Amino acid sequence: MGNIARYRITSIDVPVPGTKILRLEPIKGPIAEFKPGQWVFLHLLDSKGAGVDKRPYSIASAPSAPYLEFCIEMRNGPFTGKLDKVAVGSVLGVEGPEGRMTYEGEKKAAFMAGGCGIAPVLGILRYIAEKRISGEFVLFYSVRSKDRLVYGEELERLKKMNPCIKTVITLTRETPDKWIGECGRINYEMIARYAGKPAKFGWWMCGPVEMVKSMRECLAGMGVDEKEIHMEAWG
């Protein structure tokens, strides 16, 4: 087990029902510098500050931020059921960083995210916007319904910061009035419409296992080299 840094929760937002955005700031010192797209273990601590349980969560903040941000769906599981009860001021342990779904400055990068899988992708896009990296960047973000959309305003802000960023939001279970985005699951036609020739991009994707598996097969069928597909999944 690596070293566990102690972080205090400084804010908790509930952007949509059942999902929380937590921001944590280091008490003594931060974890080692991380790359956009990486994850850490969050530890629940006992009264003596020792870790009693842990789960991996992707970092949604850019490396330059003075805090770590996480977007977590509270599923009432063994870990999230307890995490859902923590309050601002509580102390958690943070171990890491880990993960290979990292962004290394590529100029043509495309992203797919499902639900809270937006977290590592957002961390990457925040970095791209902040550094004013020029290139071609496109995000495909899939959510069940409009009221499940997290970081919608943030994505609009990032596009204004860096016009090289393009976002495609699709709803899989509803078609609301006046909705100007896409509807339905991400598919071959949608990818071709917004990304042109997918093989010219590197691809980063995060979401439920079935979604990630399906998208990997779809991209491979469109000529994307497997080495250019970076993935993380759960479930």
Residue position matching structure tokens 């860096």: 162
Specify the pLDDT at position 2.
63
- For residue 77, is pLDDT > 50? yes
Burial 19-39 (b: 16+ CB within 10 A, else e): bbbbbbeeeeebbeebbbbbb
- What are the domain boundaries of the chain? 4-98, 108-234
Q: 52-61, 74-83, 97-106: lowest mean pLDDT where? A: 74-83
- Please give the CATH number for the structural domain made up of 4-98: 2.40.30.10
- Name the residue with higher pLDDT: 49 or 39: 39
User: What is the signed CA dihedral for 202, 58, 123, 182, rounded to 10 degrees?
Assistant: 70
Mean pLDDT value across residues 153-168: 97
Question: What value does the mean pLDDT take over residues 26-55?
Answer: 94
pLDDT of residue 3: 84
What pLDDT is stored for residue 108 in this prediction?
Answer: 98
Tokens 């769906």 belong to residue: 73
Between these two residues, 35 and 76, which has the higher pLDDT value? 35
| pLDDT (tens digit per residue) in 167-199 | 999 999 998 888 999 999 999 999 999 999 999
pLDDT at 149 over 70: yes
Work out the percent of the chain whose per-residue pLDDT is above 90: 91
Instruction: Give the Cα separation of 142 and 211 in Å (integer).
Output: 10
Could you read off the pLDDT of 44-66 as tens digits, one per residue?
A: 999 888 889 999 999 999 999 99
The CATH fold assigned to 108-234 is Rossmann fold (3.40.50)
Q: Using an 8 Å Cβ cutoff, are 176 and 182 in contact?
A: no
Exposed/middle/buried for residue 178 (C-beta within 10 Å: 0-12, 13-18, 19+): exposed
Say whether pLDDT at 1 is over 60: no
Token digits of residue 188? 């071959």
Task: List 51's β-bridge partners, or say none.
Answer: 45
Asked if residue 185 lies in contact with residue 218, where contact means CB atoms within 8 angstroms, the answer is no
